[in-house]
Amino acid sequence: MSSESETTGDSAATSAVNGGAAEPEKKPRSFLRELPILILVALVLSFLLQTFVARVYLIPSESMEPTLHGCAGCTGDRIVVEKIGYRFGDPKPGDVIVFRGPDSWSQDFVSTRSSNVVIRGAQEVGSLVGLVPPDENDLVKRVIATGGQTVECCDDQGRILVDGKPLDEPYVVMDFPFVPGSQTCDTALKSARCFGPVTVPEGHLWMMGDNRSNSADSRYHVGDDMQGTIPLDNVIGKAVFIALPPSRMGTISSPDIQGK
């Protein structure tokens, strides 16, 4: 009896402290009620990451073979492009970068957006968070020369020259024939490697694909108003990592091709 009295007394005291009535236990929030909030937070984070930090791009063509796979009938590489580094410095020769193609590079570009207003709106929203590719002609090539440098091909070994010095390009496997004595830049049967000299305007880059025999790069557009170069403002970021397929996962090298 004494024990019961003590327990009753303690309960009454507790009720008095709480205003005379015990607080009801809080029900746990329903996961379904929290799910929209979680999705919204994830989409906002994805937007911020894709816009300011990094984004994944698909390699659609073979212009960067064998460094990046995009050949017909194969699984194209998915690469991570980081966007932070170039906020503190410009691209360097040897970097593999993704950039928006200038007008002269984009004449054959066909929009992937639907003609249906609702679907097109959904595609635009999906693009903001990385679920749908951006509707622009994004290209990937390697930086060969920067503003103020003069680039041309070839020396007597078929190498590209920048300011008169040959480049060291171990990544080039596929190129046009260059045969000293019979097919060079001075023979009747001229090598398709030959171009220039071109002086790159300040604030621009001279870009080339690693697959030299199959890349519509700066050489292909040398007749436009920027002599085939692309403005620094068009640079999206640096390709740093192959994310997929797993068999090719790894970093993308940026060798010092000018030996500086």
Q: In the prediction, which pLDDT does 130 show?
A: 59
CA-CA-CA-CA torsion sign (232, 90, 239, 176): positive
Distance CA 239, CA 56 (A): 9
CA distances for 72 relative to 75, 99, 208, angstroms: 8, 22, 20
Per-residue model confidence (pLDDT) at position 123: 67
CATH tag, 54-251:
2.10.109.10
Q: Which of 61, 83, 141, 218 is catalytic?
A: 141
- Which tens digit of pLDDT belongs to each residue from 42-101? 777 767 777 778 888 989 899 999 999 997 778 899 999 999 999 999 999 999 999 999
Q: Which of 61, 63, 218, 254 is catalytic?
A: 63
Q: What is the pLDDT of residue 255?
A: 95
Tell me the pTM.
0.80
Confidence category of residue 28, pLDDT binned at 50, 70, 90: low
Residue 63: active-site member: yes
Top-confidence residue, 16 or 252: 252
Q: What confidence score (pLDDT) does residue 2 get?
A: 41
Domain ranges of the chain: 54-251
pLDDT of residue 12: 38
Question: Per-residue pLDDT tens for 128-141?
Answer: 665 666 767 899 99
